[in-house]
Amino acid sequence: MKRTVLALGAAMLAACTTAPASEAQPAFSASGKTLRQIYEYLHKNPELSFQEKNTSAFLSAEMKRLGFTVTTGLGDQWVKARAMKEYGKVQDGVGGYGFVAVLQNGPGPTLMIRADMDALPLVEKTGLPYASTFRDTAWSGEESGVMHACGHDIHMTTWIGTARELVARKSEWKGTLVMIAQPAEEIGLGSMSMLEDGLYTRFPEPDHVIALHDNAALPAGYIGLGSGYVMANVDSVDLTVKGVGGHGAYPQDTKDPIVVAARIVTTLQTLVSRETDPQDSAVVTVGAINGGFKHNIIPDEVKLQLTVRSFADATREKLLKGIERIAKYEAMAAGLEGDKAPTISIKDDYTPSLYNDPKLVERASALLTKEFGSAKIATASPTMGGEDFARFGRTADKVPVMLMWLGAVSQAKYDASLRPGGAPLPSLHSSGFAPDPDPTIATGVKAMTITALDLLK
């Protein structure tokens, strides 16, 4: 999932120079449209990471209509410059198709509210009358259907609704409102791209940054809040085990990398079970192991792909060093050293863990409980999933950030799933995921608006 931005350059350039199916979108303006109409349009017209051209244009036009000063990205020019490693020459973009909308309303604090725009390479199977039928080529080169299976269409619609409310209620707040539309969350690169483009230097630096994410296991009308660590560090590790190949009938003449890889896989499990405090959280998963192609041939190498999850940075560092140590010494035990030692590549653009500022959560929790009632406010447990929103709080100034969960499941489906033999709920990133739009959006707009009004006192 995670690759460096520059390493992605060629794939991004290829994707952007191929005319995407989404360019066939019908003309549509948010002006005068209900939030439900906006949601259905966004759901029906998804765009992939770093290809959010029409989505960005649609959202930025609405921000301009509301009176925001809008700075848009350079889109294709930004991607091409990145691909050609000439990014330093591009000064006006905000991370590809990302953009920043600023509304100043006298002296006061600065609040940033973020929405993510990109969809997933997935064929939609919801059966909705406004289901997506688009197909496009992803940054990784595969051609696929495109679907908002993670609910970014909900996020964007709620974001527009919140902007409309705050503009209509300008007499109730003072300060600077910064609304950002972020690209490429699904590949973990969008927030980094916007920050590298000067989000905190070219625009008012926020006192707080807030966002929401729909939740596929919580009924619509509910809000989930977690304090402290709520989402994990996400690292991707590529490990190549080298060996000496040969005939499967004469293993004594070989150094079998499949056997070494198997040893590595089993020993890696001790990083969590025997080297991590049971009260800490960690995951080391080998998601792919590839080597060999015939029954009677011992291959020269085996490749492993790992995902590594943690909350604390010290735990992350310990896990990554442990992977290197185990790979090295399991290979040495098999006589594989020097140029036959395993090679390990740890992606340097990992997604950091998301830490919800406890004071900000406490403040928001009091407000939301008063508005919705304590029964509608759920305590969110930390999850080992990742969210690149975390980077907005990982800058040198440690800006307080908070992401809240927004229940998105219809109450009827939720209740049915709890009954014996009930159908399980489709998860995020599922081809069958379909939020209950009206109550989900209404709750999101109300929650974000009252939180923003409090932070902009």
Q: Is pLDDT of 224 > 60? A: yes
pLDDT tens figures, 31-87:
999 999 999 999 999 999 988 999 999 999 999 999 999 998 655 555 555 544 433
Residues 258 and 336 in one domain: yes
> Looking at the structure, do residues 259 and 300 belong to the same domain, yes or no?
yes
Residue 2 falls inside a structural domain: no
Residue type, 419: R
Among 284, 311, 346, the domain boundary falls at: 346
Whether residues 87 and 189 share a domain: the answer is yes
- The pLDDT, as a whole number, for residue 142 is 81
Distances (CA, A) of 96 to 56, 61, 73, 99: 10, 17, 5, 8
Active-site residue, 415 included: no
- Residues with Cβ < 8 Å from 50, sequence gap 6 or more? 12, 15, 16, 79, 96, 97, 118, 139, 183, 184, 187, 189
Question: Could you tell me the CATH number of the domain that includes residue 53?
Answer: 3.40.630.10
Last residue of a domain, one of 306, 321, 346: 346
Statement: residue 6 has pLDDT above 50: no
User: Where is 211: in which H helix or E strand?
Assistant: strand 208-219
Residue 4 covered by a domain: no
In a domain, 3, yes or no: no
Catalytic residue (choose from 47, 62, 124, 186): 186
Under a CB-based contact definition with an 8 Å cutoff, are residues 163 and 173 in contact?
A: no
Residue 42 CA, chain-centre distance (Å), reads 18
The CATH number linked to 335 is 3.30.70.360
Nearest to 387 by CA among 97, 186, 158: 186
Alpha-carbon span 306 to 285, nearest angstrom: 6
Statement: residue 127 has pLDDT above 70: yes
Average pLDDT, the chain: 90
Judge if 342 and 376 occupy the same domain: no
Q: Would the pLDDT of 189 be above 90?
A: no
**Could you give the number of structural domains in the chain?**
2
Q: State whether 210 and 307 are in the same domain.
A: no
* Domain region containing 283: 234-346
Which pLDDT score is estimated for 75? Answer: 53
d(CA 435, CA 70) in angstroms, rounded, equals 30
Give mean pLDDT, residues 155-166: 98
Q: Which of 431, 427, 385 is nearest to 119 (CA)?
A: 431
Of 47, 62, 116, 357, the catalytic one is: 116
- Tens of pLDDT, residue by residue over 386-425, are 999 999 999 878 999 999 999 999 999 999 999 999 999 9
Residues 111 and 131 in one domain: yes
- Among 382, 344, 391, 364, which Cα is nearest to 455's? 364
Last residue of a domain, one of 306, 326, 346: 346
253 belongs to the catalytic site: no
Span 262-286, pLDDT tens digits: 999 999 999 999 999 999 999 999 9
